[in-house]
């Protein structure tokens, strides 16, 4: 009896942490138009990452060029948050975290051969907003797109305390969505268009199998070196998995080629890139050699369930700001 009273009191004093499943169901409904858009779902996942690089505090500096493209989704979320009186239910940081998870669940629904149960991410509340949420002028250093493997691993370790396995798995989020010239200056998708809203391990398969080359998607004064590969319309990643070290198969002739892209921060997980200050690598797939992440890329290309397990671990760590936020489980009713 005393324990029950204490629980009720603690739920009242920390009301925002005590969200119920039925409240979450209503939030799901309100989020539906955003989450069910193939264009918005990936941006919600990107927002969840950018917010947590800054401490999972529901605050983004939209004037930081690294956050370009996030303002419209923040505005959309803000409209839902305000019109549903959600400030009495959960913080913006929790709301964004939940929207990111809902978007992931939707992309799983859009994917053949992946079960919701494989995404082992459960929602918890307790993230605290910065005083100026949803915007801030404070600058958080987001990771550069021009990283080699050691720098990538150092970022995830220092910022979130992640292992190499978790860091490489989390980057698989790039199987979703696009890089937009008007946002980052990079351009294209990591997987073919028809797969770019599906949550599977094709990102690793294409990375490992295609004959990638470097292309400057920017210009001489403002370069954006990215890796580029051609994939043919009729070719799917499930037919592409190969062994590391074996020569890549040239895509067969078929109509409608698509050009895939990979950032240095992605491709460094496979190849030991030697980048200059502009992000140009002095070696290419013929002579870079594999990086220390290559075996993980291979493992995730071969096993979707292993990737989903490690991705879920990493996303959970990310959304708890590296385990530093005290989070509370959802109440059943």
Question: Pairing state of beta strands 328-329 and 188-189?
Answer: unpaired
Is position 190 an interface residue for ligand HEM (rule: CB under 6 A)? no
Tell me how crowded residue 62 is: count the other CB atoms within 10 A of its CB.
Answer: 17
49 scored as a contact of ligand HEM (CB under 6 A) = yes
Active site residue 50: yes
- Rg of the chain over CA atoms, in angstroms? 20
Report, in Å, the least distance between residue 266 CB and ligand HEM: 8
Q: Does 308 contact ligand HEM by CB under 6 A?
A: no
**In whole angstroms, how close is the CB of 307 to ligand HEM at the nearest point?**
13
If binding is defined by CB under 6 A, does position 143 make contact with ligand HEM? yes
Interface with ligand HEM (CB under 6 A), residue from 82, 180, 249, 250: 180
Both structure tokens of 63: 């004037």
Q: Which stretch binds ligand HEM (CB under 6 A): 20-28, 45-53, 84-92, 270-278?
A: 45-53
Burial of 68 (0-12, 13-18, 19+ CB in 10 A): middle
Contact with ligand HEM (CB under 6 A): which of 35, 45, 60, 237? Answer: 45
Residue 43 in the binding site for ligand HEM (CB under 6 A):
yes
Q: Which is nearer to ligand HEM, 37 or 236 (CB)?
A: 37
Applying CB under 6 A, the site for ligand HEM has a residue count of: 23
CB of 272 to ligand HEM, least distance (A): 17
| Residue 224 in the binding site for ligand HEM (CB under 6 A) | no
Residue from 123, 160, 186, 206 touching ligand HEM (CB under 6 A): that is 186
Find the shortest distance in angstroms from Cβ 80 to ligand HEM: 19
3-state secondary structure the chain: CHHHHHHHHHHHHCHHHCCEHHHHHHHHHHHHHHHCCCCHHHHHHHHHHHHHHCCCCCCECCCCHHHCCCHHHHHHHHHHHHHCCHHHCCCHHHHHHHHHHHHHHHHHHCCCCCCHHHCCCCCEECCCCCCCCCECCCCCCCCCCCCCHHHHHHHHHHHHCCCHHHHHHHHHHHHCCEECCCCCCCCEECCCHHHCCCCCCHHHHHHHHCCCEEEECCCCCCCCEEEEEEECCCCCHHHCCCCCCCCCCCCCCCCCCEEEEECHHHHCCCECCCECCCCCECCCCCCCCECCCHHHHHHHHHCHHHHHHHHHHHHHHHHCCCCCCCCEECECC
Given 81, 178, 199, 225, the residue binding ligand HEM (CB under 6 A):
178
170 counts as binding ligand HEM under rule CB under 6 A:
yes
Considering the complex, state which of residue 17 and residue 201 has its C-beta at the smaller distance from ligand HEM: 201
- Supply the minimum distance, in Å, between the C-beta of residue 45 and ligand HEM: 4
Within 249-268, which residues bind ligand HEM (CB under 6 A)?
263, 265
Active-site entry in 20, 37, 49, 50: 50
Residues in 51-70 at the binding interface with ligand HEM, rule: CB under 6 A: 69
Is 42 an interacting residue with respect to ligand HEM (CB under 6 A)?
yes
Enumerate binding residues for ligand HEM (CB under 6 A).
Answer: 42-43, 45-46, 49, 69, 143, 145, 147, 152, 170, 173-174, 176-180, 183-184, 186, 263, 265
Catalytic residue positions, numbered: 50
């Amino acid at each position: 009896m005393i324990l029950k009273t204490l629980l009720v009191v603690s739920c009242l004093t920390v009301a925002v942490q005590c969200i119920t499943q039925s409240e979450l169901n209503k939030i799901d409904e309100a989020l539906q138009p955003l989450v069910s858009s193939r264009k918005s779902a990936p941006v919600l996942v990107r927002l969840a990452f950018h917010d947590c690089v800054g401490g999972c505090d529901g605050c983004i500096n939209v004037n930081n060029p690294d956050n370009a493209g996030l303002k419209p989704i923040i505005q959309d979320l803000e409209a839902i948050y305000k019109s549903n009186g959600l400030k009495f239910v959960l913080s913006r940081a929790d709301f964004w975290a939940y929207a990111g998870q809902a978007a992931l669940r939707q992309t799983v629904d859009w994917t053949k051969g992946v079960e919701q149960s494989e995404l082992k991410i459960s929602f918890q509340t307790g993230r605290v907003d910065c005083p100026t949420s949803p915007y801030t002028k404070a600058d958080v250093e987001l990771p550069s797109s021009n990283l080699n493997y050691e720098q990538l691993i150092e970022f995830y370790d220092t910022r979130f305390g992640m292992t190499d396995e978790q860091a490489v798995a989390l980057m698989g989020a790039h199987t979703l969505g696009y890089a937009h010239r008007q946002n980052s200056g990079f351009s294209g998708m990591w997987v073919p268009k028809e797969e770019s809203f599906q949550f599977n391990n094709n990102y690793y398969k294409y990375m490992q199998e295609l004959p990638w080359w470097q292309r400057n998607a920017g210009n001489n004064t403002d370069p954006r070196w990215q890796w580029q590969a051609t994939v043919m319309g009729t070719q799917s990643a499930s037919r592409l998995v190969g062994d590391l070290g074996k020569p890549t198969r040239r895509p067969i002739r078929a109509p409608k080629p698509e050009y895939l892209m990979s950032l240095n921060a992605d491709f460094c997980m496979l190849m030991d890139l030697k980048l200059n200050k502009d992000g140009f690598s002095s070696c290419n797939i013929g002579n870079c050699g594999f990086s220390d992440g290559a075996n993980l890329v291979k493992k995730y290309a071969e096993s979707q369930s292993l990737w989903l397990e490690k991705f879920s671990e990493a996303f959970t760590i990310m959304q708890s700001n590296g385990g530093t936020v005290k989070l509370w489980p959802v109440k059943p009713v």
